[in-house]
Amino acid sequence: MTTPLTTVAFDTLANLLKTKSGLVIGMDKLYLLETRLGSIVKREKLPDMNVLAERLRRPGSDALARDVVEAMTTNESFFFRDDKPFAHFRTQALPRMVASRPPGSTLRVWSAASSSGQEAYSLAMIVAESTALLGGRKVEIVGTDIARDQLTRAREGLYSQFEVQRGLPVQMLMRYFRKEDPNWRIAETIRAMVQFREFNLLSDLRALGRFDIVFCRNVLIYFDQPTKSRVLEAISSLMPPDGLLYLGGAETVLGITTRFAPMPNERGVYGVTAGAPKVAMPMRMAVVG
């Protein structure tokens, strides 16, 4: 029989997750703690999660805390998830941004919770097919995530048969992937278009530079309202007045911030509002990592 989690241990874990990653976990999610932290308890040869929580309260437990945060992330992702945002990016966002920027300029696109890379690579495939439209303008795609294991996967660009069957059109599979039995490896041309780096959305986002287009999908759902507001407002301050934000199907800006407003007749696409602070940074900032 497993030892029940004490209230003190639960509070330790919940506070750690909230402060380090924004993840809000209620008593109803106890089972998630048990299933996801079980391997750390085992690896550390601890008797149970109460002892894990006690270890986390000790000074010098930063590495263990990182592992706990990472183990608690939900990393579900797939290529061209929900279709519509990607169709909008291809048919609306890119043409509009191209029209208002001179040849030679660089558009910066951010996949703000990139997980195993499918979102950023979906954007890269669209960009690769838009060379004529871009007319000499460059597109820089940055994928960031808090989970290092996911970043390693993303950089590797190796996907299972199951993963390439979820959302990826077969023509794209044939054009941009090579079979490495039993998996599929993304083409180097697409891989090289995306720069992945470790980044916590709760930290100072200005280190990433400005972004014209931000995909911040299926991550805000895990945060409480003040954290959602803080992150969205920080994102808005990185964007120009015509910047576009894409959120997940269960996410919205309504009631959370006035720095973005829904684009008319579009679901999940938001424009920067006049109330958002103006971007006060050079047109391009180096991204290291």
Binding site for ligand SAM (CB under 6 A): 21-22, 73-77, 81, 113, 115, 119, 145-147, 150, 200-202, 217-219, 248
CB of 186 to ligand SAM, least distance (A): 16
167: left (phi over 0), alpha (psi -120 to 50) or beta: left
Shortest Å distance, C-beta 15 to ligand SAM = 15
CA dihedral 78, 191, 140, 249 (to 10 degrees): 0
Minimum CB distance to ligand SAM, residue 23 (Å): 6
Residue 286's Cα: distance from chain center in Å?
A: 20
Q: Which is nearer to ligand SAM, 145 or 212 (CB)?
A: 145
Q: Token pair of 265, please? A: 């007749």
Residue 109 CB partners (closer than 8 Å, separation 6+): 123, 127, 139, 140, 141, 142, 211, 212, 213, 214, 215
Closer to ligand SAM by Cβ: residue 21 or 257: 21
Q: Which tokens hold the place of 241?
A: 């007045």
Dihedral, CA atoms, 117, 122, 124, 125, nearest 10 degrees?
A: 140
Q: Which is nearer to ligand SAM, 217 or 259 (CB)?
A: 217
Q: 105 or 200: whose CB is closer to ligand SAM?
A: 200
- State phi, psi for 255 to the nearest 5 degrees: 80, 5
Q: What is the DSSP letter of 287?
A: -
CB of 78 to ligand SAM, least distance (A): 6
In the bound complex, what is the minimum distance in angstroms from residue 110's beta carbon to ligand SAM?
11
Q: Are 132 and 125 in contact (CB under 8 A)?
A: no
Q: Which amino acid is at 236?
A: S
Please say which residue, 51 or 202, places its beta carbon nearer to ligand SAM.
202
| Residue number, 146 or 164, with CB nearest to ligand SAM | 146
How far apart are CB 136 and ligand SAM at their closest, in Å? 30
Closer of 98 and 270 to ligand SAM (Cβ):
270
Smallest gap from residue 21 Cβ to ligand SAM (A): 4
| DSSP letter for each residue of 121-158 | HHHHHHHHTTHHHHTT-EEEEEEEES-HHHHHHHHHTE
